[in-house]
Amino acid sequence: MSDKQADKHVLYLGDTSLSGAAAYLEGRMTAFGIGYDYVPSDRTLSTDEATRPRKLFVLSDYPAARLSRDAQTAILGQVDRGAGLLMIGGWESFHGHGGNWNDTPIANALPVELSAEDDRINCDQPALLIKAAEHEIVAGLPWATRPPTVGGFNRVVARPGSEALLLVQRFRVAYDAGRFEFTPIEQDPMLVIGTHGRGRTAALATDLAPHWVGGLVDWGDGERVTAQAPGSWRIEVGNFYSQFVANLLTWTGRLHVEPLR
């Protein structure tokens, strides 16, 4: 981690490595002008590192085994005093396949209830996002006229007192007599927000990087947005995806971002 902590408002844990999935969120934070420190999925965070002042903690594909209960308690102490906590979906998020966050202090602070078993839903047919409530995270985006797709998610349950902003609607699709027939099947929470003490919390059930992110990463009106974090590779995403990520980070962490580009 860098010794320059004053502007490192975000601690981002997981998404494998800078040369992998982490390039997406790190690339966007770099473009937004958000200072951060990064911890890859295979490195354990010490309690000392967890106590350094932050405005936002992001966990994405970071297994619970890498974060001791003391480190989790230190993070939650900051959230209780006003920092944000965001968990993003993936195979090692929520319960997942190796995430195992259920029955942890972090899980108790999230605005969703976690399963005690594998909660992964892989979508081989369309799964579209639906706006369920008005909120600044989802504002200004064409959820109704151009709903994005995702390729998978963790199945969670919104806690009482939380607010589900997005849902995911899955469809069974068949092709018959020259026509596609879409039959709605299951619907689940996709983005749920809440509070823990004075801090804001959010749970996004899908990933922000391939493969689960699906078509969401390209969501836009044709405008492409590029970015590159130091030490990583250049990413290219849709402009609506970029705006959604900015909204999610700034609300949860009470952050300021540079004009989008």
Residue 230 burial (CB count, 10 A):
8
Query: Structure tokens of 123?
Result: 């979508």
Q: What pLDDT is stored for residue 222 in this prediction?
A: 95
pLDDT of residue 160: 97
Give the residue-averaged pLDDT of 50-64.
98
235-250 pLDDT per residue, tens: 999 999 999 999 999 9
* Alpha-helical runs (H) found in the chain: 22-32, 47-51, 69-80, 105-109, 239-253
DSSP-assigned letter for residue 23:
H
Six-digit token string for 253: 């962490």
Mean pLDDT value of segment 140-169: 98
pLDDT band at 260 (very low <50, low <70, confident <90, very high): low
Average pLDDT over every residue of 196-219 = 98
The average confidence (pLDDT) of the chain is: 96
**Residue 113: strand, helix, or coil:** strand
67 DSSP 8-state letter:
B
Other CB atoms within 10 Å distance of the CB of residue 248: 23
Residues 49 and 31: their CA atoms lie apart, in Å, by 25
Structure tokens at 78: 């900051």
What integer is the mean pLDDT of 100-128?
Answer: 98
Residue 5: predicted pLDDT: 42
Global model pTM greater than 0.85: yes
3-7, 54-58, 65-69, 86-90: the lowest-pLDDT one: 3-7
Query: Taking residues 134-160, what's their average pLDDT?
Result: 98
